[in-house]
Amino acid sequence: MTIKAIILIGGPNKGQRFRPLSFDSPKHMFPVGGQTIIGHLIESCLRLKEVGEIILLGFHQQDETLSQSYLQNLVERYTGNRQDRGHVPTIKYLQEFTRMGTAGGLYHFRDQLRHNDPTELVVINGDVCGDFDFDSMLAQHRERIEWAKRTNHPKPYITVMTTEADRQESLNYGCIVENQENHVIEHYVEKPSTFVSNVINCGAYICSLDLLDLLEDTMRKKRQESTANSNIVLNDRPIYTHRPDPDHDYLTLELDILQQRFNLPHCFAYRTQGAWWCQVKTAASAIYANKKYLEHNRESAGDGNHHSATERRSNSGECEIIGHVYIHPTAKVDASSVIGPNVSIMENCIIGPGVRIKDSIILKNALVHPHSLILCSIVGWDCSIGAWARVEGTPGEPDPNQRFAKVQNPPLFNPVGKLNPSISVLGSNVKVSCGTVILNTIALPHKELSRTYRNEIVL
């Protein structure tokens, strides 16, 4: 038996709340915890031993990061001890011709998804991070199929991974009401205006191939309705009561399948048990994902690049490491620097003497001059932080006093038009002058910050 895994990576007009970082890199290629988000998702999919093919689905223009050779190298990197299976899973990128939603691409490429008769499809959104236990989820999905056969219930088409959120935060996600005995989804509302349930959709699914037949039927009905609404004739003259739908190929799992499931075969919920999960919508959520991946990878990584408080290491000495830290092998960190906790330092970075970095991500080719301080910030590609400068943001982690709290993804501005406090983000090639204080500030690429900025957006 083989399974196909599909990762939905969206397109270039997405990730607006992730700006200015998404100007230089698509969100799925942003590094957290020492590797890209897409790398973490591929690794999660490969934990399923039956996965024989991974498909990236989106409408990004194909570049070197979506080339066949690059993607296959990723798979081989994460396959590791699966070599004894006799083959390495294949991977490819299928490019949509326009924005199609979370289910439109599945419909458009349905013949390729059916090829080789996979037993199931694993579908996961490209902007979610977490500890995904697909093995247990698959086992439950197959148990529900057997249960449906025994009880003469409709065959399950889809199992949805769920977690819990508090009452207020649940309004930002798809909310699920499930039968507690058999886990059948009885009601689903995407981003409701009032409280529905504290059980939310994680954006990860295991689907039977019957889902593709359901998508065909749903798309056919949608196009028929669109045509009927846009071509009403009165007294031999056409009256257009609705504009023809420009997104006639747009289809979503959330709105067109789950939310309309009152007349569909059963959908099921799989509740994660104690696993962490977050959706990467903003730079602040990337900092939280970085922290959680560092904690998780420290337990399993054997590459020598993940470090804990018990280790001291750098390429040019032994800097002090606090908590969980990732330092790329090509980065150079001075022995007098103090790094951590929750810090990732990427390729070719240079960290000078006396630097203190905490709860931050330092991206490729960044240069941090002596005695600088970086707290709760993301320093972009090719940035330069002057000596004695201070770059600091406001932490955006979940409230530790609330059991099911999730990362807050507030809008940039509050209702009175002021910038909401958040982490500081420097776009690519930003130059920060010596002795400058940057606090809760977002700087677009190629800016020179020669004075103090507080709670500002530098355009």
**Tell me, what CATH number does 427's domain have?**
2.160.10.10
Q: Which residues pair with 32 in a beta bridge?
A: 35
pLDDT of residue 264 exceeding 70, the answer is no
pLDDT of residue 240 exceeding 80, the answer is no
Alpha-carbon distance values, 272 to 204, 286, 405, 417 (Å): 11, 21, 15, 38
Q: Which residues contact 325 (CB under 8 A, 6 or more apart)?
A: 294, 306, 307, 308, 339, 340, 341, 342, 343, 344, 345
Task: State the DSSP code for 419.
Answer: B
| Residue 274 sits in the same domain as residue 360 | no
| Residue 277 sits in the same domain as residue 352 | no
pLDDT of residue 338 exceeding 90, the answer is yes
244 assigned to some structural domain = no
User: Rounded distance, CA 243 to CA 428, Å?
Assistant: 41
299 assigned to some structural domain = no
| Residue 326 sits in the same domain as residue 435 | yes
User: Rounded distance, CA 134 to CA 428, Å?
Assistant: 36
User: Rounded distance, CA 242 to CA 233, Å?
Assistant: 13
| Residue 267 sits in the same domain as residue 388 | no
Determine the pLDDT at residue 444: 94
Structure tokens at 13: 């007009």
pLDDT of residue 7 exceeding 90, the answer is yes
Q: Is the dihedral of CA 417, 418, 421, 426 positive or negative?
A: positive
378 assigned to some structural domain = yes
DSSP-H helix ranges across 173-303: 210-230, 283-300
| Residue 268 sits in the same domain as residue 356 | no
Question: pLDDT, tens digit, for every residue of 295-337?
Answer: 887 555 545 555 554 343 444 457 899 999 999 999 999 999 9
How many Cβ atoms from other residues are within 10 Å of residue 410's Cβ? 14
What is the b/e burial string over 121-136, where b = at least 16 CB atoms within 10 angstroms of the residue's CB? bbbbbbbbbbebbbee
Query: Structural domain of residue 361, as residue ranges?
Result: 316-454
Asked if 183 and 190 touch (Cβ cutoff 8 Å), the reply is: no
| Residue 87 sits in the same domain as residue 197 | yes
287 assigned to some structural domain = no
| Residue 267 sits in the same domain as residue 341 | no
| Residue 90 sits in the same domain as residue 194 | yes
Closest by CA to 351, choosing from 322, 387, 376, is 387
| Residue 193 sits in the same domain as residue 323 | no
Q: Which residue has the tokens 């920060």?
A: 432
User: Rounded distance, CA 253 to CA 247, Å?
Assistant: 15
Mean pLDDT value of segment 353-368: 95
Structure tokens at 446: 């190629």
| Residue 328 sits in the same domain as residue 262 | no
% of the chain with per-residue pLDDT over 70: 83
Q: Which residues pair with 31 in a beta bridge?
A: 36
pTM recorded for the entire structure: 0.86
Asked if 160 and 124 touch (Cβ cutoff 8 Å), the reply is: no
What domain count does the chain have? 2
301 assigned to some structural domain = no
pLDDT of residue 384 exceeding 90, the answer is yes
Asked if 176 and 162 touch (Cβ cutoff 8 Å), the reply is: yes
| Residue 276 sits in the same domain as residue 338 | no
User: Rounded distance, CA 213 to CA 237, Å?
Assistant: 37
pLDDT of residue 129 exceeding 70, the answer is yes
Asked if 316 and 330 touch (Cβ cutoff 8 Å), the reply is: no
Which domain CATH number covers 51? Answer: 3.90.550.10
| Residue 214 sits in the same domain as residue 334 | no
221-235, 357-371, 412-426 — which is least confidently predicted?
221-235
Structure tokens at 322: 């606090």
Asked if 383 and 433 touch (Cβ cutoff 8 Å), the reply is: no
